[in-house]
Structure 1
Amino acid sequence: MSTPTRLAPAVAPSSATVKPAQCRPGTLAGELRISLLRASRRLRMERSSTEITDGQYSVLHALAKLGPLTPGALAEREHVQPPQITRTVAALVEAGLVARGVHPTDKRQVLVTITEAGEQEVRETKRRREAWLAQRLKDLTLAERTVLAEATEILRRISTS
């Protein structure tokens, strides 16, 4: 499946083009879920390296954002079992993107820290994803971008409720 480089011109959204049935919570939930999943899947394709998996990138992003974490904390945050996070961390260590160290207050614990190479991986992936999305947004009308700006705030509220 190829992705077109330009979006088809669209008419500025208006309440006249949206049918009341499309606004029913059940109907809207299904359509919105599919659209969000497709958009998310397409954005995940934009990354600086094909050598790491989405799960590995998620761990890198967590370490870049939150700082050093124990494997247990990473497993909890990523909603995976400890053996899976152990394999993920091992692959990232092998790639030079994270390092294992001794926990400063509990010598029995391991602390996982992102390396400069890992930080670069996160920065470049974010840059590529934002550039891809910005290019698609440039093809929209001001009215469409306004709708998306409003939807962004609504989605933020939904996701934090």
Structure 2
Amino acid sequence: MLDLDSAEDVAAVNTLRMGVLRLARRLRHLRVDRTLSLAEMSAIGTLVRCGAMTLGELARQEHVQPPSMTRIIAVLESRGLVRLEPHPEDRRQKLVTATDQAKAILRANQDQRNAWLTQLAAQLDEDEWARLRDAAPVLHKLAHL
């Protein structure tokens, strides 16, 4: 169990924080299409992962205000990256769907980032890689708590 009175645990938390932040910052800069903002790419990612949803649902998922999401979706729609379709049950609302072009951009970004991480991981020794591979599901869990 984590013990914040333990200097070793405090140091481990600090090292984890710094490592995760630095990797995340470097990964954010690896983008195939730099004309898309991080918020726009995040919205596309959510739509691809979760499927079609209303602007309000997407805003909640992305932790932004609905007017901000409306602006993001307007940009993405103008670029042909999302489609707005009538909601099947509530005609006052629209469903937002990622297009095949958006999915291709997202896939290309993921491929680029995976290739970069693979190059980094190739520099680890066998024991370091085994420990990192074992830690990957735990890091994923932490990111989704």
Q: TM-score of the superposition, structure 2-length normalised? A: 0.90
Correspondence list, 1:1-161, <5 A = 21=7, 23-24=8-9, 26-161=10-145
Q: 1:32 to 1:87 in 2, by over 3 A?
A: same
In structure 1, C-alpha distance between the alignment counterparts of 2:139 and 2:110, rounded to whole Å? 20
Aligned residues: 140
In structure 1, C-alpha distance between the alignment counterparts of 2:144 and 2:22, rounded to whole Å? 21
2:76 corresponds to which letter in structure 1? L
In structure 1, the residue corresponding to 2:48 is in which secondary structure?
Answer: helix
In structure 2, C-alpha distance between the alignment counterparts of 1:113 and 1:153, rounded to whole Å? 29
* Structure 2: runs of 5 or more not aligned: 1-5
In structure 2, C-alpha distance between the alignment counterparts of 1:71 and 1:160, rounded to whole Å? 22
Q: 1:118 to 1:80 in 2, by over 3 A?
A: same
The alpha-carbon deviation at position 160 of structure 1 amounts to 4.5
More helix by share: 2
Higher alpha-carbon Rg: 1
2:120 corresponds to which letter in structure 1? R
Q: 1:156 to 1:73 in 2, by over 3 A?
A: same
Q: 1:43 to 1:110 in 2, by over 3 A?
A: same
Percent identical among aligned pairs is 36
In structure 1, C-alpha distance between the alignment counterparts of 2:32 and 2:55, rounded to whole Å? 24
Structure with the larger RCO, 1 or 2 (CA within 8 Å, 6+ apart): 1
1:135 corresponds to which letter in structure 2? Q
Aligned to 1:14: none
In structure 1, C-alpha distance between the alignment counterparts of 2:89 and 2:80, rounded to whole Å? 25
The alpha-carbon deviation at position 125 of structure 1 amounts to 0.7
In structure 1, C-alpha distance between the alignment counterparts of 2:108 and 2:141, rounded to whole Å? 28
Q: TM-score of the superposition, structure 1-length normalised? A: 0.81
* Structure 1: runs of 5 or more not aligned: 1-19
The alpha-carbon deviation at position 57 of structure 1 amounts to 0.5
In structure 1, the residue corresponding to 2:53 is in which secondary structure?
Answer: coil
In structure 2, C-alpha distance between the alignment counterparts of 1:154 and 1:113, rounded to whole Å? 31
In structure 1, C-alpha distance between the alignment counterparts of 2:30 and 2:144, rounded to whole Å? 25
